[in-house]
């Protein structure tokens, strides 16, 4: 196993004035054995960053190290990494066993060692009964486990996952997340996992890199990122539904943006000095909880506010006025100019 160190990593396409820079000086230390998720919206540069670690993209500036080796100029095969892609990339004419063993055969690993490694990986991933089947005979989730098994048998220093769950339905995604967590606990291999799904990021990561437009907005544990977002982007991206961000809330401070999570707004029985009047515009029923969308009735601001309530509350009437009271110790303040946390 090995750590991964990124020092002011830059990626640009083209040269001179026409060059398009897409990664802007990313610096991060991923510890030996750590599971780190890179999360952000489509086009933010997360997959490009992962591909630079893998050696599939050239580094335009900065330094990438795996263990104690700078790998900028090393070929992917020399970096001792294994990658799992969104596309399973399995050979359709080969059995599951042969798909998992193929890389080892190319590397001329002894036959007995190959069988031992494949059988062990198949046991971990619970695909032992399918080793003689062809990929077309497997479900999407089983195919993804075969792809992960192919990476495991390599016994690499680092696992790189590029949105491996994107092709699965919601139930399989949840199930495979649990399998990946179990896999990491058993193997303890340093892992970088790319996703645009903030639920995946929150549930899988020991720490996460939140990216936006090629820049790291925050690097921290899921709890740190959720409870103390470093910027308004992180506050709005991490969380479903997102944090309410208000430029002119009642009692707000000049030059700042006030943030409050939907679960930290309480519906008050009547108006008070610290409550906000809201006109109910929509209600979403989500089983044990409800999301209430209300328009803020404030002279300087009529933005939509989201409140998360549980099934014990009465369903509000559309068009009615509610009074929402923010929990004072759960408020977040951001600089209106820099968007950074105050």
CB atoms within 10 A of CB 26: 23
- Per-position pLDDT tens, the chain of length 342: 689 999 999 999 988 888 899 999 999 999 999 999 999 999 999 999 999 999 999 999 999 999 989 999 999 989 999 998 888 788 999 999 999 999 899 889 999 999 999 999 998 888 999 999 999 999 888 888 899 899 989 889 999 999 988 888 888 888 888 888 988 998 899 999 999 999 999 999 999 999 999 999 999 999 999 999 999 999 999 998 999 998 866 666 678 999 999 999 999 888 888 888 999 999 999 888 999 999 988 756 678 999 999 877 788 889 999 999 999 999 999 999 999 999
pTM above 0.85, yes or no: yes
**So what's the pLDDT on residue 161?**
94
**So what's the pLDDT on residue 79?**
93
| Complete domains list, the chain, with CATH | 4-236 (3.40.50.300), 246-335 (2.40.50.140)
Buried b (16+ CB within 10 A) or exposed e, 304-341: ebbbbbeeeeeebeeeeebbbbbeeeeebebeeeebeb
As a whole number of angstroms, the distance between CA 277 and CA 45 comes to 41
As a whole number of angstroms, the distance between CA 131 and CA 137 comes to 11
β-pair type (289-296, 304-310): antiparallel
């Amino acid at each position: 196993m090995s750590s991964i160190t990124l020092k002011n990593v830059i990626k640009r396409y083209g040269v001179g004035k026409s060059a398009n820079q897409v990664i802007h000086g990313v610096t991060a230390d991923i510890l030996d054995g750590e599971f780190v998720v890179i999360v952000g919206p489509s086009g933010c540069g997360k997959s490009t960053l992962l591909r630079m670690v893998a050696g599939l993209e050239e580094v335009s500036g900065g330094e990438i190290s795996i263990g104690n080796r700078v790998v900028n100029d090393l070929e992917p095969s020399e970096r001792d990494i294994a990658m799992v892609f969104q596309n399973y990339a399995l050979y359709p004419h080969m059995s599951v066993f042969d798909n998992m063993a193929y890389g080892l055969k190319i590397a001329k690993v002894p036959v007995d060692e190959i069988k031992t490694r494949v059988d062990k990986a198949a046991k971990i991933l619970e695909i032992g009964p399918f080793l003689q089947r062809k990929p077309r005979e497997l479900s999407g989730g089983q195919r993804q486990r075969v792809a992960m098994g192919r990476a495991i048998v390599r016994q690499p220093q680092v696992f790189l996952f590029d949105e491996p769950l994107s092709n699965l339905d919601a139930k399989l995604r949840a199930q495979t997340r649990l399998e990946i967590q179990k896999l990491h606990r058993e193997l303890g291999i340093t892992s970088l996992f790319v996703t645009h799904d903030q639920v995946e990021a929150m549930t899988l990561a020991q720490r996460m890199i939140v990216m936006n437009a090629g820049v790291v907005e925050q690097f921290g544990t899921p709890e740190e990122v959720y409870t103390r977002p470093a910027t308004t982007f992180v506050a709005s991206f991490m969380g479903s539904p997102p944090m309410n961000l208000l430029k002119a809330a009642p009692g707000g401070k000049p030059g700042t943006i006030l943030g409050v999570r939907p679960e930290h707004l309480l519906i008050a029985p009547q108006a008070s000095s610290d409550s906000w009047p809201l006109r109910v515009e929509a209600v979403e029923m989500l089983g044990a909880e409800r999301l209430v969308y209300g328009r803020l009735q404030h002279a300087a601001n009529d933005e939509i506010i989201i409140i998360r309530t549980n099934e014990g509350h009465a369903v509000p009437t559309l068009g009615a006025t509610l009074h929402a009271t923010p929990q004072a110790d759960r408020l977040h303040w951001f600089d209106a100019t820099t968007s950074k946390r105050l």
